[in-house]
Amino acid sequence: MTTQGAWQVCNRLHKHHDHTGGVANLQQAYPQLKVIAHQAHGVAQDLRVGESDSFQLWGNQVTVWHIAGHTEHHLAYLLNIDGRYHVFCGDTLFSAGCGRVFTGDMQAMFNSLQRLLGLADDTLFYPAHEYTLSNLNFGLYIEPNNLAMQQRQQEVRQLGEMGKASLPSSLSQEKQTNVFLRVTNKEVLQSVAGKTPLADTQAVSIFTALRQLKDNF
Ligand SMILES: [Zn+2]
């Protein structure tokens, strides 16, 4: 992929301004720019995509997933390079955390995260923000004895001091260090129940309680 090639495609994963505010300017600066987006956004686009669509990017296949929750029409792009998925998951999954649920539909967000959780362990995630350290601080508030989280916290601090990002991260790493993917873990259930009243002990209820705790953390 050349630098110029990278500018020829602009993927819009969801509608929020911090992700789309520059698209019009980019289109102006790069007339050959191809915008790939969900049809609900209402800007000039060359390719409209939704659930289960696929397209070719730099010789690789990209599959589109509709993963609602952060916004109603949020998409993920699963880029398949030699059989390994590189997932551009926007503001749905962050390393060690997840996005805010602006739709209020906790079940949808839970389903979206569970869907990502079903991918192969070597899947790499490229979230749209670097919130890893603050997410780990919250994770350790819920799971203070989680060794993998403690180690990751140290590692991410060191990366930060060197001016380096903690991304991408693998699904196997997220399984160990992302509390929002660990809602069926007994310790997580007990910890959450000790901090806030739970409607019941279903995974989606624990997820909802966790997300609300994080909103006020
Ligand atoms: Zn957003």
How do residues 155-208 score in pLDDT, each as one tens digit? 999 999 999 999 999 999 999 999 999 999 999 999 999 999 998 999 999 999
pTM score, two decimals? Answer: 0.91
Expressed in angstroms and rounded, the spacing between residue 74 Cα and the centre of ligand 1 is 9
Ligand 1 center–CA 127 separation, angstroms: 11
41 confidence band (pLDDT: 50, 70, 90): low
Ligand 1 centroid to Cα of residue 132, in Å, is: 16
Asked whether the beta carbons of 135 and 97 are under 8 A apart, the reply is yes
Ligand 1 centroid to Cα of residue 107, in Å, is 18
| CA distance readout (Å), 102 to 6, 108, 129, 151, 163 | 30, 11, 16, 31, 31
Ligand 1: centre distance to CA 145 (Å): 31
Predicted pLDDT at 42: 55
Q: Is the pLDDT of residue 121 over 50?
A: yes
Distance separating alpha carbons of residues 205 and 118, to the nearest angstrom:
20
Place of tokens 């989606």: 204
